[in-house]
Amino acid sequence: MDFWKTLLSKLQEDQKVYLLTVIENIGSSPGKQGFKMIVVEDGSIFGSIGGGLMEFNLVEEIKEIVKKESQTIFLKKQIHKEKLKDSSGMICSGEQTIVFHPLGKNHIETVENIINCLSGDQKGIIHLTPAQFEFYPEEITSQYHYKINNSDNWYYKEQIDFKDTLYIVGGGHVGLSTSKIFRLLGFYIVILDDRQHLNTFDLNDYAHEKHIIQYREIEKYIKPGKTSFVAIMTNKHSDDKFVLSKIIKNNYKYLGVLGSKTKMQIMFKSLLNEGFTDKELNKVYTPIGLAINSKTPDEIAISIAAQIIKVKNS
């Protein structure tokens, strides 16, 4: 969302902009499909197509092109090996193909429609071709669909409703730190708690949504699916157990519970006695986060982020 809002503000300033989009990646390319960057006439940049020497060289090239009176849509393959045609100057192996789209004031409405779609939790397709940059309401079966025949015959479609959403159940200190870290990672953050006038909840400006709820209604607020990540960290062992019992039968990309090994052993034993299965409990990440001997809320949040990134990218 921040990316598109930045792009919109530059177009509204009547700045000429190049939108760079990775439409294909192969192997260990640093830029993954869907990565985007804007290079603006005023010299500013936002986003990333993979970083490193490749990105630096391409940005410097586009900074000169964007100043010219006329620009064209083109694509460029970058091969991350030395001494090859289209070499990026990097040696990490892999390949990526990047599309370069010049944008101006005539694209403001398109970008506004993208932002409105994301804000309204709707579905839509970004469609790139050698002749156009457009957006329209539609669904495709996967997040990306593309074909490259040659530099003049290709297309790329990206569905933009695929938002990785982190649901944090518990608005305490760890919830606040976790919100901060995941906002930087580009997740959509929903934080849920059952306590009124909680200082850390009220101060949480990183979450996109904040709801004071009754935990018995927790399933109404957490959407199952492959883009949903759930971190349970209430202030009570009993509430952690209750929330987990309400949602454990649903499918999420990630489901974790904050707590010590001893606490979780007691909780799991109780849930088994209540009829939950080992198969259901085995899908729960606990103790939550990677084992990095984290102590402070920020350190715990980083360990949770590391674990979720590992799961997301697996």
Is residue 68 predicted with pLDDT exceeding 60?
A: yes
Evaluate if residue 266 carries a pLDDT over 90: yes
What's the pLDDT score for residue 93? 61
- Domain range summary for the chain, segments of one domain joined by +: 2-159, 165-312
| Torsion sign over Cα 53, 54, 60, 63 | negative
> Residue 91's pLDDT is what?
47
Residues 6 or more apart from 203 whose CB is under 8 A from it?
A: 176
Q: pTM to 2 decimals?
A: 0.68
Question: Residue 206: which of 184, 224, 221 has the closest Cα?
Answer: 184
Six-digit token string for 16: 């000429």
Task: Give the tens place of pLDDT for each residue, 17-31.
Answer: 999 999 998 887 777
Which whole number is the average pLDDT over 246-270?
94
Select from 1.20.1740.10, 3.30.2230.10, 3.40.50.1820, 3.40.50.720 the CATH code of 165-312.
Answer: 3.40.50.720
